[in-house]
């Protein structure tokens, strides 16, 4: 089986993806340890992608959602390889839209009866005073489509109209898009790694994410905390709570139409009710720090190589229909 990893110069991308070349090389090394022939391609042009297609690999592993082409439209990799008859890992472009657009994901899941925090979107000057806001304070403000905590800091938590206007203006200037304004949920935060396995059995590994406490007593999982890796990921001993997180993660995964794997973020309010926050469908894969592999390790006792093997299994099974199980020896997380 020949596998090729596709990435681009993505250090400055605000979209989700496996991460820097370090993360892509972690994946590459793991695939090779599993016994496959694998290469890593940094693609910048349509010609780079054409060269991959001509080699006809058994599977391309998509480390980013698209590549940006100078003076042209973005090339969405799932569309490109589907149109060229090449098997690829992860979800279709239609599903990946739920990763790029948080509001689209929220509105879709709400129609399916899945809880998410109340929200609205806004631009500077859209509301004149507090009485016009659709939701009461406290509120939480963040970019509509950014990942990795971009644009999120202590000032994202607002309790007055003056603070609201200031943060709206700052985010709109930085991202040039309407700002997502959410009801503030004052409970714990979880992330769940979900992997589809044969027979459509979903393996779920959910862990609690505990951001560092800031000077004003808040625990906000923002850009600085993620950059510093200062947040703690830990296994929860509250089985009832984890059951609720797992159920919501599975429901979101299924109703969003996710294929192969994805990460679902969940927030719990003070009463213990679980709410969908967002979906990360091309999650970070840095071996020693990214949430997806760390959740698998902490909750599911799944090694990095085991995790990569499980992800590859689904993709390669679409090619061969008869892939040997590389991962049966280790314990698995919750199966749904």
CATH of domain 186-335: 3.30.470.20
pLDDT for residue 150: 84
Domains 2-89 and 118-183 share a fold: no
**Cβ-Cβ contacts under 8 Å for 98 (sequence gap 6 or more):** 104, 105, 108, 256, 279, 281
Give me the pLDDT at residue 185, please.
92
pLDDT of residue 335: 44
Output the pLDDT for position 145: 81
Going by CATH, does the domain composed of 118-183 fall within 3.30.1490?
yes
- Report field, pTM of the whole predicted structure over 0.75: yes
Written as tens digits, the pLDDT of the chain (336 aa) is 899 999 998 655 556 799 989 999 999 999 999 999 999 999 999 999 999 999 999 999 999 999 988 666 899 999 999 999 999 999 999 999 999 899 999 999 999 999 999 999 999 999 999 999 999 999 999 998 877 678 888 899 999 999 999 999 999 999 999 999 999 998 899 999 999 997 789 999 999 999 888 767 778 776 666 676 779 999 999 999 999 999 999 999 999 999 999 999 999 998 999 999 999 999 999 999 999 999 999 999 999 999 999 999 989 998 875 433 333 333 334 444
What's the confidence (pLDDT) of residue 325?
Answer: 37
What residue segments make up the domains of the chain, in order of their start? 2-89, 118-183, 186-335
179, 125 Cβ separation under 8 angstroms: no
Total residues found in the chain within this entry: 336
The per-residue pLDDT for 60 is 98
Residue 202 near residue 336 (C-beta atoms within 8 A): yes
Which region, left, alpha or beta, applies to residue 116 given φ > 0 means left and ψ of -120 to 50 means alpha? Answer: beta
CA nearest neighbour of 121 among 139, 109, 108: 139
109-141 burial, b if ≥16 CB within 10 A, otherwise e? beeeebebbbbbebeeeebeeeeebeeeeebbb
Q: What kind of architecture, by CATH, is found in domain 2-89? A: 3-Layer(aba) Sandwich (3.40)
The pLDDT value given to residue 223: 67
| The predicted structure's pLDDT at residue 13 | 53
Angstrom distances, CA of residue 310 to CA of 89, 166, 316: 12, 45, 10
């Amino acid at each position: 089986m020949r596998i090729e990893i596709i990435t681009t110069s993505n250090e400055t991308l605000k979209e989700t993806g496996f991460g820097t070349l370090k993360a892509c090389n972690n994946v590459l090394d793991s695939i090779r340890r599993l016994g496959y022939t694998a290469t890593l391609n940094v693609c910048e042009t349509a010609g780079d992608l054409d060269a991959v297609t001509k080699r006809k690999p058994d599977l391309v592993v998509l480390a980013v959602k698209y590549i940006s082409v100078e003076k042209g439209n973005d090339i969405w990799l799932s569309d490109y390889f589907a149109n060229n008859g090449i098997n690829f890992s992860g979800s279709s472009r239609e599903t990946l839209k739920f990763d790029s657009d948080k509001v689209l994901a929220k509105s879709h899941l709400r129609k399916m009866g899945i809880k998410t925090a109340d929200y609205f979107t806004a631009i500077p000057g859209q509301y004149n005073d507090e009485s016009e806001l659709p939701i009461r304070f406290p509120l939480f403000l963040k970019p509509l489509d950014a990942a990795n905590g971009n644009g999120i800091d202590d000032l994202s938590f607002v309790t007055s109209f003056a603070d609201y206007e200031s943060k709206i203006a700052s985010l709109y200037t930085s991202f040039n898009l309407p700002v997502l304004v959410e009801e503030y949920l004052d409970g714990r935060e979880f992330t769940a790694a979900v992997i589809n396995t044969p027979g459509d059995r979903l393996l779920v590994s959910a862990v609690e994410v505990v951001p560092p406490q800031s000077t004003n007593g808040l625990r906000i999982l923002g850009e600085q905390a993620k950059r510093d890796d200062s947040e703690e990921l830990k296994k929860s001993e509250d089985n009832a709570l984890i059951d609720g997180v797992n159920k919501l993660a599975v429901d979101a995964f299924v109703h969003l139409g996710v294929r192969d794997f994805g990460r679902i973020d969940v927030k719990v309010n003070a009463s213990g009710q679980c709410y969908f926050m967002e979906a990360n469908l091309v999650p970070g894969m840095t071996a020693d720090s990214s949430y997806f592999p760390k959740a698998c390790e902490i909750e599911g006792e799944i090694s990095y190589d085991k995790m990569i093997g499980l992800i590859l299994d689904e993709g390669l099974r679409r090619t061969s229909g008869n892939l040997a199980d590389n991962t049966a020896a280790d314990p698995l997380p919750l199966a749904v």
